[in-house]
Chain A
Amino acid sequence: AQKVTQAQTEISVVEKEDVTLDCVYETRDTTYYLFWYKQPPSGELVFLIRRNSFDEQNEISGRYSWNFQKSTSSFNFTITASQVVDSAVYFCALTFSGGYNKLIFGAGTRLAVHP
């Protein structure tokens, strides 16, 4: 089965706190790609990051960082020093090599950052 699980439905933090959004995936394929998308209240899907299954290096981009661990099939996303503008729904997603393969989304985590 190919599946993405985001167990945290909602997270509420106060500005400047660090927050980690969890993502666990299931697949038997050896080549796959993982993504994080942000969906602000306006509704569009904003691409944040892509990782392929051969690259387990963690990545940092400003206040965002991602921890990919194949051993635990996890691809977690951390926001450091959260800001009110980070309030959104965050989706983790999985797809596979090949042109027509669909993107499989997790259920999303709603992050509310309060001043």
Chain B
Amino acid sequence: EPEVTQTPSHQVTQMGQEVILRCVPISNHLYFYWYRQILGQKVEFLVSFYNNEISEKSEIFDDQFSVERPDGSNFTLKIRSTKLEDSAMYFCASRGRREENTGELFFGEGSRLTVL
């Protein structure tokens, strides 16, 4: 069964460093998302991406964050200068044309980011 894959599964970085989290969505999917979950808290929407541009972003998604779909298969989230409060689990998700009328999102297993 097709799945969304994320790398790395866990990354430890120093405050101020740049981090790129990678996602490979399901191949024929069109809509892509990043969510964040700080430990013990709710799953929060960061950004949605469609047709090579951001369709919506939350207040959390400030200038330190960017997303890119560089080669038609990968979908990346970049944090330019990490802060301690960026420590969280980051989930990538995708949706295809078939799911437009069901709402279903397919989630990756998450990338845990620890900022020291």
Binding site for B on A (CB under 8 A): 32-33, 35, 43-45, 47, 50, 52, 91, 93, 95-108
| CB <8 Å contact, B103 and A100 | no
In the bound assembly, the distance between CA atoms of A99 and B107 in angstroms comes to 15
Binding site for A on B (CB under 8 A): 30-31, 33, 35, 41-45, 48, 50, 55-56, 89, 91, 93, 95, 97, 99-105, 107, 109-110, 112
Partner of B42, one of A50, A101, A105: A105
Q: Please give me the residue from chain A that is nearest to B105 by CB atom.
A: A103
Partner of B43, one of A52, A95, A105: A105
In the bound assembly, the distance between CA atoms of A97 and B95 in angstroms comes to 12
In the bound assembly, the distance between CA atoms of A15 and B59 in angstroms comes to 41
In the bound assembly, the distance between CA atoms of A71 and B48 in angstroms comes to 31
When A91-B43, A100-B50, A100-B56 are in contact, do A43 and B102 touch as well, CB less than 8 Å? Answer: no
Q: How far is the CB of B30 from chain A (nearest CB, A)?
A: 6
| CB <8 Å contact, A52 and B42 | no
Nearest 5 A/B pairs, CB to CB: A33-B103, A95-B103, A99-B100, A105-B43, A100-B55
| CB <8 Å contact, A99 and B97 | yes
In the bound assembly, the distance between CA atoms of A107 and B31 in angstroms comes to 24
Number of A-B contacts (CB under 8 A): 66
Partner of B100, one of A35, A44, A98, A106: A98
Q: Please give me the residue from chain B that is nearest to A89 by CB atom.
A: B40
Chain B residues whose CB sits within 8 angstroms of the CB of A104 once the complex forms: 45
When A100-B50, A100-B56 are in contact, do A45 and B43 touch as well, CB less than 8 Å? Answer: yes
A47-B104, A99-B97, A99-B100 given; name 4 further pairs at CB < 8 Å.
A50-B103, A100-B48, A102-B33, A105-B44
| CB <8 Å contact, A103 and B109 | no
When A99-B50, A99-B97, A100-B50 are in contact, do A50 and B45 touch as well, CB less than 8 Å? Answer: no
Partner of B107, one of A32, A33, A45, A52: A45
6 A–B contacts from the bound complex (CB under 8 Å): A44-B110, A47-B107, A52-B103, A102-B33, A102-B56, A108-B42
